Amino acid sequence: MKNNKNKKAPFQFPLLGRGVGVRLVILLVIFTGFAFMLPDKKPTIFLIGDSTMANKPLDDNPERGWGQLFPNYFTNEVAIQNHAVNGRSTKSFITEHRWDTVMSRLQSGDYVMIQFGHNDQKVDDSNRSAPAHTLYKQNLIRFVNDVRSKGANPVLITPVMRRKFDEQGKFVDQHGDYPGVVKEVAAQMKVPLIDLHKSSEALIVKEGEENSRRLFLNIPPNHFKNYKGKEEDNTHFSEYGAASMASLVCQSIAAQNLPLAKYLAPSDFKEKFAFELPKIYKPHFKRDTFNILNYGAVADGLTLNSAAINKTIEACAKNGGGTIVVPRGSFVTGPIIMKSNINLHLDKGALIIYTSDFNQYPLVASTFEGVDAARCQSPFTAENLENIAITGEGIINGNGFYWRPISKDKLTESQWKNHQKMYGGVLNESKKTWYSSGKALKGSLTNNIGKLAGGKTLQDFEDVKDYLRPNMIRIFNCKNILIEGVTFENSPAWTTHINASEHITIKNLTVKNPWFGANTDALDLESCKNALVEDCHFDTGDDGICIKSGRDAEGRKKGLPTKDVIVKNCVVYHAHGGFVVGSEMSGGVNNMFVSNCTFIGTDIGLRFKTTRGRGGMVENIYVNNINMKDIAAEAILFDMYYMAKDPVVLAGEKREPPVVETKPVDETTPQFQNFYFRNITCNGAAKGIFVRGIPEMHVKNILIENAVLQADEGIDIQEASNITLNNITMLSKNTNPVTYILNSDNISINNLKYKDSAEVLAMVQGERTKAVSILNTDVTKAKQKLRAGFGVTDAQISWEVSQPAVDTKKKKNRGKSK
């Protein structure tokens, strides 16, 4: 027998039986395995600094630190903790043990972004003073070493600029040696550096001495409940300023490709980060209110209230601004002349009706379709102002039926008779068009838009005055504009015309005009910059959301492009176009960002129009997530032969195609380039995509990706270069052909899906056509793959064909008897 005296017993957990212990071991193994499957802890960005970075109360308080807006520009793959505190220096942040708190939470792989300096400069404050070359530098070195001791990553940021200009308008740097010390430490210790001192100075100087005020808290008292107000605060930021500074930090992260760059949030547009989108300043107003009833207004739908309303505006302006209240009721008025720092607020149930008495609207120097012109006074006029708003849930009615000409073929017989009965007016010689008066009819015979040129004065147009219809809302050369919540309807001409203005916020605006309302664009942004159009609903007789920048020589001379515009979450019903650029675009258009919009029943969905003579450059247009239904003409249109006619040909109307000829390129030649469209659907249209340039200047650089289009006709590309269509489903009723290409080059069509048994997949013509590629497309579904002609041979077209999927089960069963 073997001696088992010294044999060890199996290990058992104390106080547990053998079976229970084994089971616990198994559970530990299982849990350990699961632990390896758990996702890695996401890193945390710790922000430490002073009031320019710190979080601020949100309740009725305008101040923000840039660190408060910083998380908006990052994905949820990283956490952000803002430990910055008002009034702190490197010294006080340490002595108050705030740094100890950060260190107790800091883990390997985290980041610490460090920005101090403003309060370290305060030599008379012993609690905060930290001389630049001694204690300040020592504290920065300590921060870096401490962070690295935890396996984390320090990032040094130079102090953000205060705003100061001298008497000559030259910017003054107030930070002494502190920025240089930050750079010195960063270089010495090989720490990533964000030079916010330099980039914020560049931004302030770019904005200019006056406009840079809106970056900071230069806000008088009584604007916010929880902010006392200060006429001059050039250190702390408004929300617009904080967002701008946070974006500068992000820009540096991206430009240096720092490890943090992988966490930067994308925007709705693949080519842009969220921080790169335009920033828009939103105005605010004194909390004082002025009710128009207290100044003699009468809500009876009859009394003319022009004097009472404008008297209220004058009183409000003398008070330094505030809110003018239009209460529930019907108020008839003539032109309302706006003043700076005023919010015209229409309560729910308030109705402003502009009088049908044309005598209340004198001829004034204005603009129309991009040129200086005599026009009747706009019902709402704001010129050369700042901080203005129209808000509330009320309605403004322009009484446009009295003004607008109308063709008989756009009404039923009974509507035609009733219109004449209700609104008077006269008919033209053919009896097919109604005009408001003899003056309006006379103006139509010359088609004179009132252009103030060649020595013409306002008096020269009195005999055609009624033809020169006013735009209902005219805002010219203004800054900081808000339109929110209201409804504009029945406009005499353009409904909301904002010209040569900046920092425009339009939210929850509704525009309603009859489908036959001539020239009733819902919204025209002309030569404007920094605009947000969000959550709006438009139903009108002309273009919906329209971008312009002046016309022909006048527009080119002014050189004021429309740029940096965001349009999102808008719905356009009837209109000539959902989102439109042109045709007056002579000053240029760039940086448009359009997303998450719906167009239902518009003549054209995305419409870009111009013509020879305009000149100007339209470029950098980004579009994403557009859904369309029942589009009368093209879903997507680029047309450089705009004819100033309705996009849909009326019954019996004949239109000749444009004469194709090549002209010399000069300043009058328009240009379209750099368009990026993604994720577009259209359920019903006359044509899916139509691109038509001119021989001397092609439409260039268009990307359309991920689109599903159902239309009568397919894709038509003429006189275009560098066009890329990726992942397009083009289901057209007419498939002869699905795709037509004429005199175009560098055309790439990748993964095109189309209707089974299509007649012709691609018709390619024109002696100037070259470099056409159709890739990853199943050509077997078409009866004829290619029809080439007029200078094009089959050899000029390159194909990379995808084969249809094969059913392997059927293949195996082939030849077997049943």
- For residue 220, give both structure tokens: 């008088």
Exposed e or buried b per residue across 68-94, where buried means at least 16 C-beta atoms within 10 angstroms of its C-beta: bbbbebbeeebebbbbbbeebbbbbbb
Among positive and negative, which fits the CA dihedral 773, 775, 777, 781? positive
* 3-class DSSP state of 582: coil
Please report, as a single letter, which amino acid is at residue 530: N
Determine whether 92 is an active site residue: no
Strands 433-435, 426-427: pairing kind: antiparallel
- Pairwise CA distance, residues 602 & 686, whole Å: 12
Measure Cα distances from 755 to 678, 706, 797, 806 in Å: 21, 17, 21, 19
CA distance 758 to 134: 79
Distance between CA atoms of residues 702 and 677, nearest Å: 8
Of 479, 488, 454, whose CA–CA distance to 385 is shortest? 479
- Is the bond into 737 cis (omega within 30 degrees of 0)? yes
Can you say how many angstroms the Cα of residue 757 is from the centroid of all Cα atoms in its chain? 41
Structure tokens at 148: 């690295």
Judging by DSSP bridges, how do beta strands 386-392 and 479-484 pair with one another? Answer: parallel
Nearest to 330 by CA among 346, 349, 310, 351: 351
CB 469 within 8 A of CB 446: no
Task: List C-alpha distances in Å: 767 to 388, 664, 696, 773, 793.
Answer: 56, 19, 15, 16, 10
Q: How far apart, in whole angstroms, are the C-alpha atoms of residue 128 and residue 49? A: 13
Query: What is the crossing angle of helices 137-149 and 98-105, to 10°?
Result: 20
β-pairing, 523-526 vs 562-568, is unpaired
Distance from C-alpha of 735 to C-alpha of 761, rounded to nearest angstrom:
7
> Whose CA is closest to 344, among 321, 360, 361, 328?
321
Our CA angle for 199, 204, 209, nearest 5°, is 160
Tell me which of 210, 232, 271, 800 is the catalytic residue.
Answer: 232
Per the listing, tokens 């990748």 go with 750
Residue of 83, 197, 223, 236 marked active site: 236
Alpha helices (H) along 113-195 = 137-149, 178-189
Is 419 assigned a catalytic role?
Answer: no
212 in active site: no
Place of tokens 């335009």: 278
Q: What is the DSSP string of 298-332?
A: --SSSSB-HHHHHHHHHHHHHTT-EEEEE-SEEEE
* Among the listed residues 689, 685, 684, the one whose alpha carbon sits nearest the alpha carbon of residue 705: 689
Q: How far apart are CA 117 and CA 160, in angstroms?
A: 9
Task: Identify the CA nearest to 152 among candidates 163, 161, 144.
Answer: 144
Active site residues: 51, 232, 236
